[in-house]
Structure 1
Amino acid sequence: MEKRAIQMDPHDNVATVLFDVQIGDMVWVYDQNQVLVERVVAQSPILSGNKLALSDMPEKSTMIKYGENVGVVIKPIAKGHLVHVHNVRSMHLDIPDSIIRDIISVMNITE
């Protein structure tokens, strides 16, 4: 089965995976018009609905989704890795550290 993800805006540096992805899976990234944008090899497990890095994202860089700056990278993220609360902080929502720890634990994030 083709593992797909959607990039909401051409400026986005993340895409939302539409199927659970395992390390080594080829992820086919499409735009909103269902045109293939690129293929990315997953470097970490990513559950459906979560974000995949489309490029290397250095610390203090900006995560872009829907063409908007939505987060600040708190530790470097390599292309193909999961982008979530363990490596990005929202620019719009202050999530308490205790909630972040719970999310990381429940999702079994080990990066």
Structure 2
Amino acid sequence: MDKIYFNRMSFYGYHGVFEAEAQLGQRFFVDLEMSLDLSKAGESDDLNDTVNYADIFTHVQQIVEGERYKLVEALAARIADQLLAAFPIAEVKVRVTKPNPPINGHYDSVAIEMVRRRKG
């Protein structure tokens, strides 16, 4: 299976359990690994035989910036489910990184990674 990657897309969202997170918001990073057959696109050199990268980005952006989730787990699941529903991909791995969660301590970030496959 072939793969398309999106690395460290950056969005501003209002996700989190605490009210301050809902009011102030923060940056979120999204990485994608999408599995699909790209052999036809490789032969044809035609955009219609693959997925449009701009459409993928816009889809993820609308979810991260347009909806609110308390849990990063719910955000990652929504992204995965919507991408599988909207695009001809067989599997998607979604990683959502929250660089500044309200946790006392020293760390770079926290992240959730989910893998979802097309059913059927």
Do these two structures clear the TM 0.5 threshold for a shared fold by scoring above it? no
- TM-score normalised over the length of structure 1: 0.24
TM-score, length basis structure 2: 0.23
More helix by share: 2
Larger relative contact order, structure 1 or 2 (CA cutoff 8 Å, min sep 6): 2
